């Protein structure tokens, strides 16, 4: 993100060229970061939560060292206006979200790679015996995640017209909450993108309610945490109930 904004501050005859270079550099950087996560998890067998937390601290430290903890402003107005532009009164950001959802949904539901992603989450050992390189699937998956994170960073930067380490901290808990609300299994192998869309919708309604009733940032975090625990506990009992029903059917037969 830091290098991306440095590109935006370069004086150039063609701001369009500068934006293109910066966007490509940012997406390449974020994809490589995701690729590195995938290598740590697949090749070194580091638990995903530890690997991603470790690299998050590493990347944050690098960014803090480069920026001294200060904000870096975007020097090109055209880029800063992207988040406020509309097409037929529909915000560009929403259009980008819909396009991303369609592409990712197609990959997950209609391609071999998408099926392999689900299989890795369900049973990576069985996937290896079927002749599929589970390590390669993981690496490609994390690289794709890195690319999508890069797109998210571009949107955030265009909205606030600057970049600073820690901008994304407020989204960490909300991201996990959206996934859990949408029916994504933290252990992997289960969940649909449609559920994630519903999770985002619910979270947005809650966010709007917090704004209307003037909740403080601290009380918001408290509610997010309580809601996350409540959903996870509810899912636990629902899954256990399904297992009990299945075991009773098996015994009955």
Tell me if 126 is assigned to some domain.
no
Using alpha carbons, select from 83, 84, 78, 85 the residue that is nearest to residue 12: 78
- Residue 39: give the domain boundaries: 1-85+134-166
- Per-residue confidence band for 208, with pLDDT thresholds at 50, 70 and 90: confident
Please, are residues 180 and 231 in contact by the beta-carbon 8 Å criterion?
A: yes
Tell me if 197 is assigned to some domain.
yes
- Residue 66 CA to residue 75 CA, distance in Å, equals 18
- Total domain count, the chain: 2
Are β-strands 162-163 and 72-73 bridged in parallel, bridged antiparallel, or unpaired?
antiparallel
Average pLDDT over residues 15-28: 76
- Residue 118 CA to residue 193 CA, distance in Å, equals 12
- Per-residue confidence band for 39, with pLDDT thresholds at 50, 70 and 90: very high
Please, are residues 75 and 15 in contact by the beta-carbon 8 Å criterion?
A: no
Tell me if 91 is assigned to some domain.
no
Tell me if 92 is assigned to some domain.
no
- 164 has a pLDDT exceeding 50: yes
φ and ψ at residue 68, rounded to 5 degrees: 60, 25
Using only C-alpha atoms, the chain has a radius of gyration, in whole angstroms, of: 21
Percent of the chain scored above 90 by pLDDT? 14
Based on the fold, state whether residues 200 and 151 are members of the same structural domain. Answer: no
Angle in degrees, 0-180, between the axes of helices 169-181 and 217-252, rounded to the nearest 10:
30
């Amino acid at each position: 993100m830091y290098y991306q904004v440095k590109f935006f501050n370069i004086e150039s005859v063609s701001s369009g060229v500068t934006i293109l270079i910066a966007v490509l550099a940012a997406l390449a950087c974020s994809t490589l970061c995701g690729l590195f996560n995938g290598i740590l998890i697949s090749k070194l067998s580091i638990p995903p939560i530890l690997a991603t937390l470790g690299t998050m601290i590493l990347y944050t430290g690098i960014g803090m060292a480069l920026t001294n903890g200060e904000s870096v402003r975007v020097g090109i107005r055209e880029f800063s206006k992207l988040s406020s532009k509309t097409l037929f009164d529909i915000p560009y950001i929403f259009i980008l979200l819909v396009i991303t959802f369609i592409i990712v949904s197609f990959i997950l539901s209609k391609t071999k790679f998408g099926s392999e992603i689900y299989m890795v989450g369900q049973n990576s050992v069985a996937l290896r015996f079927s002749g599929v390189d589970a390590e390669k699937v993981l690496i490609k998956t994390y690289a794709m995640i890195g690319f999508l994170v890069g797109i998210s960073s571009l949107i955030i930067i265009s909205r606030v017209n600057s970049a600073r380490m820690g901008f994304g901290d407020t989204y960490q808990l909300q991201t996990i909450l959206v996934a859990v609300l949408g029916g994504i299994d933290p252990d992997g192998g289960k969940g649909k993108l449609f559920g994630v869309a519903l999770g985002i919708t619910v979270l947005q309604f809650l966010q709007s309610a917090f704004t209307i009733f003037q909740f403080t940032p601290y009380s918001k975090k408290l509610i997010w945490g309580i809601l996350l625990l409540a959903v996870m506990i509810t899912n636990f009992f629902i899954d256990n109930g399904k297992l009990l029903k299945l075991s009773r059917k098996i015994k009955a037969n």
